[in-house]
Every structure is written in structure tokens, then in C-alpha cells.
């Protein structure tokens, strides 16, 4: 192994160290080979990580649908909750949501092919059936990731996220 003081001295005047040139040339290939193996090993790890990340993103990506959350902020339970599109190809049905509770579901729109809107229907404790509509989807694809419904004593508030572009 070379001494650390030799390298700066060699760089200042290589003619004073004729054997150092040979020693450094012999040590470089071994060092380069070791680094090349490390780089190749790290590249394999990076490639495997990228593949796993891509695969997991594809699995967890919820395409062709919308996530619906409904929160009951009234003092009475709501029943017979249904969320669907105007095509009514798939329906989320929830029997009952108690006061100050919420439910979150994903509505698949894989079968939808046309343009339309969303519809929420539910029955209040006094037996009154309420229908709330809104939003828009086109060519069977949602323009939004999610929609939140907040059911109050006499009002239903609807919030959509920003459109997906």
C-alpha cells in the first residue's frame, strides 16, 4: 500500500518517483474492477426497486371510478344510502350511517361508457327521501378523484376535488 504523502509528492514531480507510476497503474485496474462490481450490484438493486415501485403503483392506482365519502353531521341516523352514476351500472349501498359517523367507498366505473353525473339518495329518520346530484363524468371516466357528502340537519353539502388532467 502507498503512503498518503507519496501521492501529492508524485503529482508535484512524477520524475522523482519512477516506480510510483508503475504501482499506481497496477492498483487502478483492481480498484476499477471493484468499483465496477459495486456499481453493477447497485444498478441491479435500483432496477429491482424501480420495478417493484412501478408494479405497486399500478396495483394501488384506482382507475375508472371515484371515491365517495359521506359524513352524517345531523342528529339522526340516515338509512338506505345509495351512490351511483346516471347510467346506474354500479351502485354503492349502505344500510345505515349513525350521527357523527362516516362511510367511504369506491365506485367502480369500468362499465360506464357515456357522459353523466353522480347521484346520492338516502332516507332521513323522519322517512323523507333525499336525492343529491352533481359532478360530471365523460366517456365513462371520472373527472374527479373523490366526492364528499356532508349530511346536515336540513342540507346536504357536496364537495368534489379538482379535475384530473
Q: Kindly report, residue by residue over 49-88, the tens digit of the pLDDT.
A: 777 777 666 555 556 899 999 999 999 999 999 999 999 9
- Does the domain at 65-160 match CATH 2.60.40.2890? Answer given as yes
Query: d(Cα 14, Cα 17) in Å, to the nearest integer?
Result: 5
93 vs 30 pLDDT, higher one: 93
Model confidence at 161, pLDDT cuts 50, 70, 90, reads confident
- Going from the C-alpha of 16 to that of each of 9, 13, 21, 63, 144, the distances in angstroms are 9, 6, 10, 71, 74
In this predicted structure, what is the pLDDT of residue 47? Answer: 78
- Collect all residues with Cβ–Cβ distance below 8 Å to 77 and sequence separation of at least 6: 96, 97, 98, 99, 125
Whole-model pTM? 0.62
Pairing, β 146-151 against β 156-160: antiparallel
Locate the domains of the chain by residue range.
Answer: 6-60, 65-160
Amino acid at each position: 500500500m502507498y503512503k498518503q504523502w507519496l501521492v501529492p509528492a508524485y503529482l508535484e514531480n512524477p520524475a522523482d518517483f519512477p516506480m510510483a507510476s508503475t504501482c499506481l497503474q497496477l492498483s487502478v485496474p483492481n480498484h476499477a474492477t471493484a468499483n465496477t462490481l459495486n456499481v453493477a450490484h447497485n444498478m441491479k438493486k435500483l432496477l429491482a426497486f424501480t420495478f417493484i415501485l412501478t408494479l405497486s403503483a399500478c396495483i394501488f392506482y384506482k382507475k375508472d371510478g371515484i371515491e365517495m365519502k359521506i359524513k352524517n353531521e345531523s342528529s339522526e341516523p340516515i338509512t338506505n344510502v345509495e351512490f351511483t352514476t346516471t347510467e346506474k351500472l354500479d351502485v354503492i349501498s349502505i344500510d345505515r350511517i349513525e350521527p357523527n359517523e362516516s362511510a367511504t367507498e369506491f365506485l367502480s366505473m369500468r362499465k360506464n361508457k357515456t357522459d353523466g353525473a353522480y347521484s346520492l339518495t338516502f332516507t332521513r329518520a323522519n322517512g323523507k327521501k333525499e336525492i343529491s346530484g352533481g359532478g360530471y363524468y365523460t366517456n365513462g371516466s371520472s373527472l374527479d378523484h373523490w366526492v364528499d357528502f356532508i349530511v346536515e340537519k336540513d342540507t346536504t353539502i357536496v364537495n368534489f376535488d379538482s379535475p384530473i388532467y
